[in-house]
Amino acid sequence: MFYCVQKYRGTGLGKPLFQKVMDIVGDNNATLTGVVKMSAKYASDFGFDKVPEHWHLFSSLKCADVVIPDKVSEKYTTKLWSDVDYEALTAYDRTICVRDRKKMMTNWFNLPDTFTRVVFDESGKIVGYSTIRLVSKNKMSPAPFYADNLEAAEVLLKDLLNMIPNWQQYASFGFLHPECNKDPLKLLEKFAKNKESVSSATFIRSQFTKKLIPTPDQKVYALADCAHQFV
């Protein structure tokens, strides 16, 4: 997170603060997600020049334009995260992220106004999970949202929306997803009254100082957290 109160922006407060943080980072590999306007600055001034080919798009849908599909795949089922073997769930997470996020994940899941489900295939194998939070501006934020394929993602999104009381009262929700993965857009279109209701724009880019850490982009429908996670 890099933020300065609006009236003081551009007056030279932010850069020395950022430099202090980089002094702590030292020679370690550091990562951030840079917004379009700031991305080149992070690369040129602070060495965040190892980047994947793609940007991340923010693709969203107003809740007023959502129609939950009657029919989704019967090959997949979901459970509440608390009813799932946590070792198995965190092992799945390790197929997404090289970091051990065991402690971090429970922190996400236990936040107030937060809904997390896990999706399974017919053999009982975990094939995705997602958390939706009720956030500011009356929005819902699915983050993270991971699924091995679009069919599993549809079942996961349907079950998650259905467990949120009066989800229709919220303004919108959207996925922060790698541009090279088109499935999040297809997922939103499947839940939209028409394709035109889905909007999409380039938003951020993952950037590293020393080494680009690869991610399984085909499974990533939404980053876990756009300030602190590269996947």
Ligand X SMILES: CC(C)(COP(=O)(O)OP(=O)(O)OC[C@H]1O[C@@H](n2cnc3c(N)ncnc32)[C@H](O)[C@@H]1OP(=O)(O)O)[C@@H](O)C(=O)NCCC(=O)NCCS
Q: Please report, as ranges, the residues that interact with ligand X according to CB under 6 A.
A: 2-4, 9-15, 34-35, 37-38, 41
Pick the closer one to ligand X by CB: 4 or 43.
4
> Which among 148, 86, 94, 75 is positioned nearest to 116, based on CA atoms?
86
Question: Minimum Å distance from CB 213 to ligand X?
Answer: 18
Pick the closer one to ligand X by CB: 3 or 194.
3
Question: Minimum Å distance from CB 48 to ligand X?
Answer: 10
Pick the closer one to ligand X by CB: 45 or 100.
45
Task: Output the CA angle 112-116-117, nearest 5 degrees.
Answer: 160
Pick the closer one to ligand X by CB: 15 or 228.
15
Task: Output the CA angle 45-10-135, nearest 5 degrees.
Answer: 90
For 189, phi then psi, to 5°, come to: -65, -35
Pick the closer one to ligand X by CB: 25 or 163.
25
The position carrying tokens 């793609």 is: 54
Q: 132 by DSSP, 3-state: which?
A: strand
Question: Minimum Å distance from CB 106 to ligand X?
Answer: 27
Question: Minimum Å distance from CB 182 to ligand X?
Answer: 25
Question: Minimum Å distance from CB 137 to ligand X?
Answer: 16
* Residue sitting closest to ligand X (CB): 14
Written as six digits, the tokens of 81 are 């995260």
Question: Minimum Å distance from CB 6 to ligand X?
Answer: 7
DSSP assignment, residue 13?
A: S
CA 11 to CA 216: how far, in whole Å? 39
Pick the closer one to ligand X by CB: 2 or 108.
2
CA 28 to CA 67: how far, in whole Å? 46
- Please state, as a whole number, how many other Cβ atoms lie within 10 Å of the Cβ of residue 9: 11
